[in-house]
Amino acid sequence: MTTNISGVLEPRAVRVHEIATDRESAIHRCADVLEEIGAVHPAYREAMLDREWAMSTYVGEGVAIPHGLDMSRDLVRRDSLAVLRFPGGIDWEGGRVTVCVAIAARGDGHVALLSQLALILLDPRKAEILRSATDPEAIVAMLEADDEE
């Protein structure tokens, strides 16, 4: 599978020393980073919070994937991901989160990276490597890899 995914996750969108006291402030940090990199309109933040309260975005292995709603796609400027690492952990509905993979998507540009994330999380050893990685370039490389046979 050859996919041009460069640009969906940039090293500057990877933050490895984040602190948040709770789920809500973690979502705000995710929205901050998506805004900072120019991926979303400021109103996308509300959609992320609405989505989170409607249903937890916890997916397992200490990872949550905060994102907006179908009707907030127009607030996304380009398909982008941001990775925020919270070494202290956050109580989340569903489990304890140390990594947020925040999603802003209007199309399918992010699909390959999310598929790779699913592969990583299904392998507890790889999931641990992702959770403990502190080099943004390495995190980008891990998610851009294509381990699909």
- Write out the residues near another protein by the rule CB under 8 A: 51, 54-55, 57, 59-61, 65, 67-70, 72-73, 103, 105, 110-111, 114-115, 117-119, 121-122, 148
3-state secondary structure 86-104: EEEEEEECCEEEEEEEEEE
Rounded least distance, CB 4 to another protein, Å:
18
Least spacing, CB of residue 115 vs another protein, in Å: 4
CA angle 62, 3, 63 (to 5 degrees): 5
> Half-sphere exposure of residue 142, counting CA atoms within 13 Å on the CB side?
21
Contact status, residue 43 vs residue 75, Cβ threshold 8 Å: yes
Catalytic residues: 67
Taking the least distance from each CB to another protein, the nearer of 49 and 111 is 111
Comparison of 17 and 73: residue with beta carbon closer to another protein: 73
In the complex, the smallest distance separating the C-beta of residue 140 from another protein, rounded to whole angstroms, is: 18
H-run or E-run covering 85 = strand 80-92
Pick the closer one to another protein by CB: 15 or 106.
106
